[in-house]
Structure formats: C-alpha cells, structure tokens
Amino acid sequence: MIARIWSGKSPLWVLLWPFSLLYGAVSGIIRLSYRLGLRKSWRSPIPVVVVGNLTAGGNGKTPLVIWLVQALQQQGYEVGVVSRGYGGKAESYPLLVTAQTATDQAGDEPVLIAQRTNAPVAVAPRRRAAIERLLAKYPLDVIITDDGLQHYALQRNVEIVVVDGERRFGNGWWLPAGPMRERASRLKQVDAVVTNGGTALAGEIAMTLSPGLAVNMRSGEKRALSTFKEVVAMAGIGHPPRFFNTLRQQGLTPVAEIAFADHHAYHKAELVALTQPEQPLLMTEKDAVKCRTFAQENWWYLPVDAQLQGDALAPLMQKITALCKAEQ
C-alpha cells in the first residue's frame, strides 16, 4: 500500500499531503537554522564523505559505502566508517563495531561493512561522537558516513546521494504522502549522484549490483546460483523486490519469495518454518549477519558487489583522494 501511495498510483497520497507540507516546513526550518548559525554544526579534523539519499527506504547506500571504502583502501588510505546503527540498541554509545559484533547492538549494516572491509567502524546517534571515538583509536585519513545526508549537525566535505534508478522519487512529495526526506532540487547541491539500477541520467554515476557465488552460512561452501533448484528466497531490506529480481536475472526462479521489513529482527523458528527439510533458504548478505548465530545447514546468502561507471566517477574519486592526501 505504501509503495502505491508513494508512487502516485493510489490517490490516498492526497489525504496525507497536509502532513507532508508540515514535514517539509519543519525539515526546511531545521536546515535553515544550521545555515544561519542558530544551530551549531561540528567540523571533523579529517575529511568527511557522506553517502546518503533523499528518499525513505533502501536505495543501495551500503554497497556503495563498501565499494568506496575498498577503493580508497586499495590506494593506501586509512578509512573509518560511522553510522547511526539503525536497529541496534547498544548499552552505551559510541560503539566500536567489528565483524563479530552482535547486530542487535550495532545494527545490521555497520556489522556488514566491518565484515566486508575490515575498516574501523563506529556507531552512535550523534555522528560526532562516533568520529571522535574512531580518531581516538585509529590514525585515519577520511571518514565515510553510511547515511546522514540530513544530519546537518555534522559538516561534510563531500556529499554523495544514491538514487533508486527504478523508483526514482515516486510522486515527489515529502513524507508521509511521498518518499522524500528532501526535495529533488537538493541534488543540485551535492557532489555526485549515484543511480542504482535503471537508467542513469546525464551527469549521474551508474551503479549495478553484481551477485557473486552463494555462500553456505554454516560451512562456508560457495556455489553458483545455477546449481540451485527448489530454493526459497527471503529478504529483509529496504526494497526486497530488488533481491528477487536479481535472482531471476541470474536464471533462478524461487519457489517462494518472502519479504520482511527492513532491519527485521529474525528468530530461528520463523526462518526454519519457511522451508521443507533439505530445501535451501537463500537470503541477502545483510540478512545473513543477523542470522549467523543460529544458521542451519541449508541456509545460504548471496553477496553482491557494486560496479560503478560514468564520466562523473573519476572527478569524484579525484576530489576524495585529494582530501585524503592532504591528511597524510
């Protein structure tokens, strides 16, 4: 229902329109207050790159963060990552995150980033606190924030917005009548727009998510998707259809496609009940980090890697690396 409202296919968005005007007014006032200096923002002693979006729901920020961290690491830079840690409830903040940190403490995305990159990761509601915790422990050249475009309490050197190439901006209205946290005109002020799937517009960087081999969650065995037959697919991400479409594009037609809410807290019994004995359960890597402690022998996950291309990519990376060099 929400998808139909936000896309404009359902006229119910009109009923929510007054609340959208209120949301837009409040968010505009908050942003203006930072511009005028009525609210204080903090500048990190090292460069900050924000990877965020204008819409609610998953657009592919985390795969881009992982790609960016790894690209900078390959050039010899020390990269730290901070996040709000949505879905996690740590006993205290800021929390340093490793690949072994429980997702109910840190949230799923920070744990996944730590697992894939081995970069220092910290989470806290206030990004400043997370950055200061990292800098107290690690000699870093740059900080990347997973989300936080609207967290204006933190100054940034580079802003990157990820756009869902299929859904774009729906009906274009602020929450709750539409999917927008900020209006599309905000794109004119950012350093780069990365379009995940669909067709990238002029000046945008095209991103595709390339699936790898499926990985068994118990044994670590890797298998091509073509070797699976009666597989049950599940996803608890911002836009589950993207995962199911990826499987079909790879020639795999699941016998069932089960979508959970983003950041859903899984329990062993509910997932065991999804399949018949010996029937494989295939999930996203983001889901897998939440299920690793009770994974069954027939559970698998599919890692994906971001692939970027476009004329705007080189200038973006040159700007970020120049900032990093200045810190060395």
The whole-number pLDDT of residue 3 equals 78
Residue 328 binned pLDDT confidence (cut-offs 50, 70, 90): low
The whole-number pLDDT of residue 58 equals 77
Region 137-157 average pLDDT: 96
Which residues, 6 or more positions from 148, have their beta carbon under 8 angstroms from its beta carbon?
50, 52, 82, 83, 84, 127, 154
> Is the pLDDT at 75 greater than 90, yes or no?
yes
Tokens of 62: 């985390």
Q: Within 10 A of 304 (CB to CB), how many other CB atoms are there?
A: 19
> Is the pLDDT at 57 greater than 80, yes or no?
no
The whole-number pLDDT of residue 106 equals 93
Q: What is the mean pLDDT of the chain?
A: 94
Strands (E), the chain: 48-52, 79-83, 95-97, 121-123, 142-146, 158-164, 192-196, 205-211, 214-216, 222-223, 232-235, 256-259, 281-284, 299-302, 304-309
Q: What is the pLDDT of residues 190-205, one digit of tens each?
A: 999 999 999 999 999 9
Tokens of 234: 């599940």
The whole-number pLDDT of residue 28 equals 93
Can you say whether residue 60 is alpha, beta or left, with left for phi > 0 and alpha for psi between -120 and 50 degrees?
left
The pTM for the full model equals: 0.94
> Is the pLDDT at 125 greater than 70, yes or no?
yes
Region 223-245 average pLDDT: 93
The whole-number pLDDT of residue 8 equals 76
CA torsion 119-124-129-133 (nearest 10°) is -40
Q: What is the pLDDT of residues 292-323, one digit of tens each?
A: 999 999 999 999 999 999 999 999 999 999 99
Which of 7-11, 103-107, 247-251, 315-319 comes out lowest in average pLDDT?
7-11
Which residues, 6 or more positions from 283, have their beta carbon under 8 angstroms from its beta carbon?
233, 234, 235, 291, 299, 300, 301, 302
Region 222-240 average pLDDT: 93
Tell which wins on pLDDT, 84 or 49: 49
